[in-house]
Chains A and B, each alone.
Chain A
Amino acid sequence: MGINVVRVNENEIAIIISGRFDFSMNNDFRKILSESNETGQKYSIDMGAVEDLDSAALGMLLLLREKAGGDTANIKIRKCRPDIVEMLKMANFHTMFDIS
């Protein structure tokens, strides 16, 4: 349960989330937000170990996107389980993030 952040290189950050992605993770997520800026950073979020999402998680992802440049943000969400993908699609996230 938690978020691991790895800085791959100067412009790339890898985030690995596991367990229940919900409001309880807001503190850890804040750290990621505080480090991001609009200068073309790439984010790669690994959701392979995410069991469940709730609206708080979606809200947090949107905050990240906002912070990382809004429409110019470059965020990949990878390794999602099918039901997670479904949820992201229903919330229209496939138009805002690169989901795979």
Chain B
Amino acid sequence: MHENSKDFIEDAQGANLTRRPQFVLILSIFIYTIVIVGLWLFEQPLFMMISALTLSWVAAYYMYRDLNGSESAVNEETGSSISENIIEQNKSYALVSRKVSNENIEIADEVHRISKMVNEATTELAESFTKMNVQAGQQKKLMNAILNGHDESSGDISMNDFIEDTSNMMNYFIETIVNTSKESVRLVYKLDDLCEKVVSIEILLKDLKFISDQTNLLALNASIEAARAGEHGRGFAVVADEVRNLSMSSGNFSNQIHNVVAEAVSGIKEAREVIDSIASRDMRFVIDAKSKNTQLSEQICEIQNKSEESMHEVSAIAGNIDESVNAAIRSLQFEDIATQLASHIIERTNNISHISNELSTAIDSSELLMRQGNESEFVSGINSIRQVCKSSIEYIDNIKGSPVSQEKMDAGDIDLF
């Protein structure tokens, strides 16, 4: 644009339109020089001075007019080429405006798609989270049911009861064994006493033997005396013989009793042996079993306690899941604001498109006017564009609608949507 102006001015300087005043000027200067010389020759200094002054003024006038003329000529020249420039420039502006408008349509479309995606995604997420919530709740319920099953004895024999019963049973058996042994030893002692008593019969038998032996001897003596007495002693001899027989029977009986006693004693000894086997129970075996039982019950108790602990933990975690899911659902509420913001963006791009379109339309319609050739129509064309710009600015300024202020979203309960 700048270069174009320069060219025009140079052209203007060589234009025919400027040559005529220059010729007149030179002629005038020539004439006036002659006049001044003449006046000088005729010694008319006053007229000379007046002529010189007049000459200089005329020269100045012509120079001034010359300059102005070429300027106005240049202005006229550059004026028309500048106006052409301006028209072309406006056309470029119109093109850019239209491009802007198109871009805005694309922007609006893309923002709309984002908004839609966000909406769909958050809806799905909300559904998933709600499901998760429900499932976590079910888990917690199950856990509680199991826990409660553990605390009460629901009619079935609980593990603890079983272990206690087993322990009690073992204690009972041990007690029984020890008691049996104790009574067995006591029995043995009673048998020993019995044995003693039985054995004491032997002593009595000894006495009896002595008596029977003595009786035998006396009977023998009696027989001898009876024989000495002859006839008178015959009756006595018979008696003495009978006494001898009696003592011999008594001896036999003694022997029999002795045998029976021996059998009794041997029987008692056998009984002792039997009792020995009853009383002698190996305790180690029983005690090993009992200690294993105790160990087992302790282990089972530990396992129970640990599993109870774990279940309590699981229950607590279920509670935490609940909280986390609620927080997640709460945070999805951003979707609301996002959608609003998106529609605001789309509105704004629509506004931009509107004013771009107005501008390009105004430029298009003013072009015709500006090409009329005269100045006033050119100016009114430019004014119309300016007017459109002004009204566009007003249009934007007048649009009501404050941007949505973003609030924090951790207040209160969540809304499940």
Please, which residues of chain B bring their CB within 8 A of the CB of A29?
Answer: 185
Query: Does B281 belong to the interface (CB within 8 Å)?
Result: yes
Please, which residues of chain B bring their CB within 8 A of the CB of A26?
Answer: 185, 188-189
Report how far A61 CA is from B184 CA in the complex, Å. 13
Report how far A80 CA is from B250 CA in the complex, Å. 59
| 0 or 1 for each of B37-81: is its CB under 8 Å from A? (1 = yes) | 000000000000000000000000000000000000000000000
Q: Within the complex, which residue of B181, B189, B284, B291 is in contact with A56, where a contact is CB–CB below 8 Å?
A: B181
**Are the C-beta atoms of B182 and A58 separated by less than 8 Å?**
yes
Given the interface contacts A91-B178, A92-B175, does A59 sit within 8 Å of B183 by beta carbon?
yes
Report how far A92 CA is from B178 CA in the complex, Å. 10
Q: Which of A29, A52, A56, A62 counts the most chain B CB atoms within 10 A?
A: A56
Please, which residues of chain A bring their CB within 8 A of the CB of B248?
Answer: none
- Which residue from chain A places its CB closest to the CB of B276 in the assembled complex? A23
**Are the C-beta atoms of A86 and B291 separated by less than 8 Å?**
yes
Please, which residues of chain A bring their CB within 8 A of the CB of B280?
Answer: 22-23, 54-56
Interface size on B, residues (CB 8 A): 27
Report how far A54 CA is from B178 CA in the complex, Å. 9
**Are the C-beta atoms of B291 and A62 separated by less than 8 Å?**
no
Report how far A58 CA is from B283 CA in the complex, Å. 9
CB distance from B364 to the nearest CB of A (A): 113
| 0 or 1 for each of A52-91: is its CB under 8 Å from B? (1 = yes) | 1111101110110000000000000000000000110011
Report how far A53 CA is from B184 CA in the complex, Å. 16
Given the interface contacts A30-B192, A56-B184, A56-B185, does A23 sit within 8 Å of B279 by beta carbon?
yes
**Are the C-beta atoms of A90 and B290 separated by less than 8 Å?**
yes
| 0 or 1 for each of B357-372: is its CB under 8 Å from A? (1 = yes) | 0000000000000000
**Are the C-beta atoms of A90 and B287 separated by less than 8 Å?**
yes
Report how far A87 CA is from B285 CA in the complex, Å. 10
Q: Which of B177, B182, B192, B286 counts the most chain A CB atoms within 10 A?
A: B182
Report how far A56 CA is from B187 CA in the complex, Å. 12
Report how far A22 CA is from B175 CA in the complex, Å. 17
Given the interface contacts A62-B178, A87-B287, A91-B174, does A55 sit within 8 Å of B189 by beta carbon?
no
CB distance from A31 to the nearest CB of B (A): 11
Report how far A48 CA is from B261 CA in the complex, Å. 43
Report how far A6 CA is from B174 CA in the complex, Å. 31
CB distance from A93 to the nearest CB of B (A): 9
Interface size on A, residues (CB 8 A): 21
Query: Does B19 belong to the interface (CB within 8 Å)?
Result: no
Given the interface contacts A54-B282, A87-B284, A90-B290, does A63 sit within 8 Å of B276 by beta carbon?
no
**Are the C-beta atoms of A63 and B174 separated by less than 8 Å?**
no
CB distance from A60 to the nearest CB of B (A): 5
Q: Which of B185, B283, B286, B290 counts the most chain A CB atoms within 10 A?
A: B185
Report how far A60 CA is from B186 CA in the complex, Å. 8
Query: Does B180 belong to the interface (CB within 8 Å)?
Result: yes
Please, which residues of chain A bring their CB within 8 A of the CB of B179?
Answer: 59, 62
Report how far A23 CA is from B280 CA in the complex, Å. 6
Report how far A86 CA is from B295 CA in the complex, Å. 14
**Are the C-beta atoms of A87 and B178 separated by less than 8 Å?**
no
**Are the C-beta atoms of B182 and A59 separated by less than 8 Å?**
yes
Report how far A86 CA is from B192 CA in the complex, Å. 33
CB distance from B194 to the nearest CB of A (A): 14
Query: Does B171 belong to the interface (CB within 8 Å)?
Result: yes
Q: Within the complex, which residue of A23, A30, A62 is in contact with B189, where a contact is CB–CB below 8 Å?
A: A30
Given the interface contacts A86-B287, A90-B287, A92-B171, does A63 sit within 8 Å of B186 by beta carbon?
yes
Please, which residues of chain B bring their CB within 8 A of the CB of A22?
Answer: 280
Please, which residues of chain A bring their CB within 8 A of the CB of B189?
Answer: 26, 30, 33
Q: Which of A52, A87, A90, A91 counts the most chain B CB atoms within 10 A?
A: A90
**Are the C-beta atoms of A59 and B185 separated by less than 8 Å?**
yes
Report how far A58 CA is from B174 CA in the complex, Å. 11
| 0 or 1 for each of B271-302: is its CB under 8 Å from A? (1 = yes) | 00000100111111011001100000000000
8 CB-based A-B contacts, threshold 8 Å: A33-B189, A53-B283, A56-B181, A56-B280, A59-B179, A62-B179, A90-B286, A92-B174
| Chain B residues within CB distance 8 Å of chain A | 171, 174-175, 177-186, 188-189, 192, 276, 279-284, 286-287, 290-291
Give me the 8 closest cross-chain CB pairs, A-B, nearest first.
A59-B181, A59-B182, A55-B281, A55-B181, A56-B279, A90-B287, A62-B182, A58-B178
Having A55-B177, A56-B281, one finds 17 other A-B pairs with CB under 8 Å, namely: A23-B276, A26-B185, A30-B192, A33-B189, A53-B283, A54-B280, A55-B279, A55-B282, A56-B280, A58-B181, A59-B179, A86-B287, A87-B287, A91-B175, A91-B178, A92-B171, A92-B174
